[in-house]
Amino acid sequence: MRVEKCVQGGAGFGRLADGSVCFVEGALPGEVVEIKVTEQKKDFARAGVVKILEPNVKRRVPPCEYYGKCGGCNAQYAEFELQIELLRQITLDLFSRTAKINLPQNFEIHCGSEWGYRCRAQVFFEMRGSNTVIPVEKCMVLSEKLNEKLKEISLTKKTNLFDNQSEKFLGKYIHADESVFFQSNLELLPKLIREASKAANEGELLLDIFCGVGLFSAFLQSKFERVIAIEQNPLCQKFAEKNLGKNCEFHAVSAEEWCGKNAELLSKACVLIDPPRAGITNQLCDILCKNKISKLLYISCNPATLARDTRKLLNAGYELIDVQGFAFYPQTFHLEMMAVFSL
């Protein structure tokens, strides 16, 4: 089978001899591969690569000795330059099909180091798809400090590793620990903060929805007279209270509940939302569409749900004025994005 492209998640897309769609794990665009079908559905099949007959010129041997056993880093077989281009093409395809718009072919994807970038990790000591223990002496994507911690921990249970780095970045120290979500790539994080700050500009009110420990508010609070940070996870509150200034208030409630009760503030604010991978709920989307917001910044960890939500916002009269990608997780097919909407 000849592989036409890669799709969300990284699988190669092609067609079998009868014309039916097949998704092939581990295949790259342009390659001719011998495959073994592993799953047959009514409308498509899934397969694995048996032999690569015509390889992509940017295919490489995965550098990590644990590749294929560890459950992470599923894009190592592509050179880093190709990984970024695949992320771009996958995103262009998603927005064309789902959001019904064409993004610029060269829309920017920011990236940093290919290796040693992770300051946060969740470690499982079992081989992918089995209960076999795999002792990992060193992980190529973990920071040096986390690799030192890796040597010290037990090999019998799932473990969270976190290095918040004692030095300040962008002039601030952000309080957080392994109990709450925090971005894993601190090298690239300042770039996202700068781009969000530039897009938000300044004003009277900032609403930071799904704020976590108040990361974005901490850096934008000086540009707004008032900041309201909303986060449902109560574990985030003690950190947010340390990270936020006197002009900020924190509410440990759901985004839907707070926005539903305070809808009159939405049209007066610059709104920044950073939802989980599932994107925004229909209820929250309806509120955002009904209460017209002059500037809406959408930070996304899932291009597929961002494309879906973009279509809804465009249908409600919003205009997509900027979109950027952030390759926070090299060696994977994961892309974070920032989209800026206005009326």
What pLDDT was estimated at residue 163? 81
What pLDDT was estimated at residue 177? 86
| 3-class secondary structure per residue, the chain | CEEEEECCCCCEEEECCCCCEEEEECCCCCCEEEEEEEEECCCEEEEEEEEEEECCCCECCCCCCCECCECCCCCCCECHHHHHHHHHHHHHHHHHHHHCCCCCCCCCEECCCCCCCECEEEECCCCCCCCCCCCCCCCCCECHHHHHHHCCCCCCCCEEEECCCCCCECCECCCCCCCCCCCCECCCHHHHHHHHHHHHCCEEEEEEECCCCCHHHHHHHHHEEEEEEECCCHHHHHHHHHHCCCCEEEECCCHHHHHHHCHHHHHHCEEEECCCCCCCCHHHHHHHHHCCCCEEEEEECCHHHHHHHHHHHHHCCCEEEEEEEECCCCCCCCCEEEEEEEC
**Which pLDDT band holds residue 120 (cuts at 50, 70, 90)?**
confident
pLDDT of 129 higher than 90: no
CA-to-CA separations, 79 to 28, 59, 83, in angstroms, rounded: 11, 6, 6
Mean pLDDT of 89-104: 97
pLDDT of 305 higher than 60: yes
**Which pLDDT band holds residue 130 (cuts at 50, 70, 90)?**
low
Mean pLDDT of 195-216: 96
For 83-112+188-342, the fitting CATH number among 3.40.50.150, 3.40.640.10, 3.30.420.40, 2.60.120.10 is 3.40.50.150
**Which pLDDT band holds residue 72 (cuts at 50, 70, 90)?**
confident
What pLDDT was estimated at residue 149? 86
Among 31-40, 169-178, 209-218, the range scoring the smallest mean pLDDT is 169-178
Mean pLDDT of 222-238: 96
pLDDT of 340 higher than 90: yes
Separation of alpha carbons 284 and 298, rounded Å = 13
CA-to-CA separations, 227 to 181, 188, 248, 270, 276, in angstroms, rounded: 21, 25, 5, 10, 21
Query: Tokens in use for 182?
Result: 């925090």
**Which pLDDT band holds residue 131 (cuts at 50, 70, 90)?**
low
pLDDT of 75 higher than 60: yes
For 3-57, the fitting CATH number among 3.40.50.720, 1.10.1060.10, 2.40.50.140, 3.90.1150.10 is 2.40.50.140
pLDDT of 314 higher than 70: yes
Domain chopping of the chain, boundaries: 3-57, 83-112+188-342
Mean pLDDT of 219-227: 96
What pLDDT was estimated at residue 261? 96
Length in residues, the chain? 343
Mean pLDDT, the chain, integer: 92
Return the residue matching tokens 């976590």: 212
Mean pLDDT of 175-185: 88
Higher pLDDT, 70 or 220: 220
Bridge-based pairing state of the strands 109-110 and 44-54: unpaired
- Chain centre to alpha carbon of residue 71: 17
pLDDT of 167 higher than 60: no
